[in-house]
């Protein structure tokens, strides 16, 4: 008798969590991180104390060392797939995304998207981001003295900008926004069975929606990303099977970092009143510093995974082919060998730009320039127009060991 797919997935996930929990209960620090603790930073420091490289009983090598992390992210002997090109087994599948490809396919897709996401083009979105921030704050002020930063501000800004950039028709934007939130767990790592199934359903709906939009742009081209990439399909440089998931991946990656960068930044500022006061007194001078220091101090993306494609020696340890290395970027961003007083949040810090918050090497985040533009606009607008901003309830954090961010952050305007 054949096991139903859902039953098989449930059994595999149950087995995974059973082993994970037993390993964590046995004291394995990396397994404890994979359980998604509320505050991972004390665990990072315990892992750092083990040395530049350590081996988890859960199977992966782990590093908190900034120098090693930076080197590995730039080292072509590592990839995101196995050495034979196969995907690392996961519970959620999302094929043909740049995030999960190694060269040469990764380089080909990345080259096609660079024209729309380079720093010069990102800067052209600054005015649009500033206007959206003002409009959203107008709505907040009209609605009374309290609001949820995440749902009423941070999530709306990047979703709207990405919809503009990709070319989502106005009538489909509410649906696009809902589905974008539903596929967000793709970036969370292992999650619940119900979330896996929810993501699968949302991917199906988004695929159908983007097929409709692509057909529309084939008939009526515009100045959006889809229209810009369609000639590559006609020329055989890009397949339609690649374009559809790429249309989903870019909004996902392009919005999640920005959403959580804004949320983490505001929470850090309000937890450090002297920093909030400094920003409030001169938003124009300090907004960019807030963004860079938040990326260092509490980055949206906490870790990356790389797979050794050759036998490689690192810090005296030999990693066999197909060994997985967990790069704890959030810990590397607090490496005392690189950052002075690393656990202090300081928006005037001069060395914050050395972080690994957008990765490095060939997988450096394409959307980094746009994320910075949007986050700077958001931080500047909040400090300028809501100078008496303060907490108004308990925040609710996202359940993920990869993406660190908030689902809800209740605030008061006065």
Kindly report, residue by residue over 217-251, the tens digit of the pLDDT. 999 999 999 999 999 999 999 999 888 888 888 77
Kindly report, residue by residue over 22-39, the tens digit of the pLDDT. 999 999 999 999 999 999
Q: How much is the pTM?
A: 0.94
pLDDT band at 21 (very low <50, low <70, confident <90, very high): very high
Q: How far apart are CA 165 and CA 332, in angstroms?
A: 32
**Strand ordering across the sheet containing 61-63:** 54-55, 61-63, 324-327, 304-308, 78-79
224: left (phi over 0), alpha (psi -120 to 50) or beta: beta
Q: What are phi and psi of 376, to 5 degrees?
A: -60, -45
Kindly report, residue by residue over 191-219, the tens digit of the pLDDT. 778 888 888 898 899 999 999 999 999 99
**What's the pLDDT at 282?**
97
Q: Which two tokens stand for residue 264?
A: 């983490």
Contacts of 12 (CB under 8 A, 6+ apart): 91
Average pLDDT over residues 382-410: 95
* pLDDT beyond 60 at 2: no
Q: How far apart are CA 106 and CA 364, in angstroms?
A: 12
Average pLDDT over residues 91-102: 71
Lowest mean pLDDT among 76-85, 93-102, 105-114, 359-368: 93-102
* pLDDT beyond 50 at 1: no
Cα torsion 138, 139, 141, 144 to 10°: value is 170
Q: Are 121 and 115 in contact (CB under 8 A)?
A: yes
pLDDT band at 370 (very low <50, low <70, confident <90, very high): very high
- How far is residue 405 from each of residues 113, 132, 352, measured CA to CA in Å? 27, 22, 20
Average pLDDT over residues 291-311: 97
Tell which wins on pLDDT, 111 or 283.
283
What is the residue-averaged pLDDT of the chain? 92
**What's the pLDDT at 7?**
84
* pLDDT beyond 80 at 254: no
The number of domains in the chain is 1
Q: Give the residue from 272, 256, 276, 281 showing the smallest Cα distance to 375.
A: 256
Q: Give the residue from 280, 259, 260 showing the smallest Cα distance to 269.
A: 280
Average pLDDT over residues 340-353: 89
The distance of Cα 51 from the centroid of its chain, to the nearest Å, equals: 27
Q: How far apart are CA 260 and CA 398, in angstroms?
A: 10
Q: Are 294 and 264 in contact (CB under 8 A)?
A: yes
The distance of Cα 160 from the centroid of its chain, to the nearest Å, equals: 17
Lowest mean pLDDT among 17-21, 93-97, 174-178, 313-317: 93-97
* pLDDT beyond 80 at 190: no
Find the DSSP H helices in 353-396.
368-385
Q: How far apart are CA 307 and CA 85, in angstroms?
A: 11
Q: How far apart are CA 414 and CA 390, in angstroms?
A: 7
Q: What DSSP designation does 152 have?
A: I
pLDDT band at 185 (very low <50, low <70, confident <90, very high): confident
Find the DSSP H helices in 118-192.
119-123, 126-142, 149, 156-166, 173-182
pLDDT band at 4 (very low <50, low <70, confident <90, very high): low
* pLDDT beyond 60 at 95: no
* pLDDT beyond 80 at 259: yes
Q: Please give the share of the chain, as a percent, with pLDDT higher than 70.
A: 96
- Beta-strand relationship, 61-63 and 324-327: parallel
Q: How far apart are CA 315 and CA 62, in angstroms?
A: 12
- How far is residue 209 from each of residues 185, 212, 238, 241, 247, measured CA to CA in Å? 19, 5, 19, 14, 10
Residue 131 CB: number of other CB atoms within 10 A?
12
**What's the pLDDT at 112?**
83
Q: Give the residue from 172, 136, 135 showing the smallest Cα distance to 154.
A: 136
Structural domain for 81, as ranges: 5-412
Average pLDDT over residues 94-107: 78
* pLDDT beyond 90 at 73: yes
Tell which wins on pLDDT, 251 or 399.
399
Tell which wins on pLDDT, 97 or 60.
60
3-state secondary structure of 147: strand
294: left (phi over 0), alpha (psi -120 to 50) or beta: alpha
Q: Are 36 and 185 in contact (CB under 8 A)?
A: no
pLDDT band at 92 (very low <50, low <70, confident <90, very high): low
CATH number of the domain within which 156 lies? 1.10.630.10
The distance of Cα 176 from the centroid of its chain, to the nearest Å, equals: 18
**What's the pLDDT at 3?**
47
Q: How far apart are CA 147 and CA 6, in angstroms?
A: 39
**What's the pLDDT at 5?**
60
Find the DSSP H helices in 167-224.
173-182, 193-219
Q: Give the residue from 244, 142, 157 showing the smallest Cα distance to 203.
A: 244
Kindly report, residue by residue over 9-19, the tens digit of the pLDDT. 888 888 989 99
Q: How far apart are CA 248 and CA 200, in angstroms?
A: 13
């Amino acid at each position: 008798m054949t096991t139903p797919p859902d039953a098989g997935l449930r059994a595999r996930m149950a087995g995974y969590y059973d082993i994970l929990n037993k390993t964590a209960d046995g004291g394995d620090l990396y397994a404890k991180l994979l359980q998604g603790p509320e505050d991972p930073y004390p665990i990072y420091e315990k892992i750092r104390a083990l040395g530049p490289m350590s081996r988890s009983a859960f199977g992966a090598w782990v590093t908190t060392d900034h120098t090693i992390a930076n080197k590995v992210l730039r080292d072509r002997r590592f990839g995101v797939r196995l050495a034979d090109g196969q995907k690392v087994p996961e519970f959620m599948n999302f094929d043909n995304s740049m995030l999960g490809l190694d060269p040469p396919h990764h380089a080909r897709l990345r080259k096609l998207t660079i024209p729309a996401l380079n720093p010069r083009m990102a800067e052209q979105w600054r005015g649009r981001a500033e206007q959206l921030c003002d409009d959203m704050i107008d709505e907040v002020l009209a609605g009374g003295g309290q609001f949820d930063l995440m749902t009423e501000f941070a999530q709306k800004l990047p979703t709207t900008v990405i919809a503009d950039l990709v070319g989502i028709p106005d009538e489909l934007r509410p649906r696009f926004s809902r589905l974008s939130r539903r596929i967000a767990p793709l970036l969370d790592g292992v999650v619940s069975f119900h979330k896996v199934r929810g993501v699968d359903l949302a991917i199906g709906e988004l695929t159908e929606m983007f097929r409709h939009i692509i057909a529309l742009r084939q008939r009526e081209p515009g100045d959006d990303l889809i229209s810009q990439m369609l000639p590559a399909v006609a020329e055989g440089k890009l397949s339609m099977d690649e374009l559809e998931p790429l249309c989903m991946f870019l909004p996902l990656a392009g919005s999640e970092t920005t959403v959580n960068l804004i949320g983490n930044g505001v929470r850090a500022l309000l937890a450090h009143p002297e920093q909030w006061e400094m920003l409030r007194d001169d938003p124009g001078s300090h907004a960019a510093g807030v963004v860079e220091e938040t990326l260092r101090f509490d980055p949206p993306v906490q870790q990356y995974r790389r797979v050794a494609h050759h036998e490689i020696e690192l810090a005296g340890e030999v990693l066999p082919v197909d060994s997985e290395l967990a790069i704890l970027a959030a810990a590397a961003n607090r490496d005392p060998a690189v950052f002075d007083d690393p656990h202090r949040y300081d928006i005037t810090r001069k060395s914050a730009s050395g972080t690994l918050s957008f990765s490095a090497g060939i997988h450096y985040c394409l959307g980094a320039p746009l994320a910075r533009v949007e986050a700077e606009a958001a931080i500047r607008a909040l400090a300028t127009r809501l100078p008496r901003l303060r907490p108004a309830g308990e925040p609710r954090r996202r359940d993920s060991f990869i993406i660190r961010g908030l689902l809800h952050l209740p605030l008061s305007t006065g």
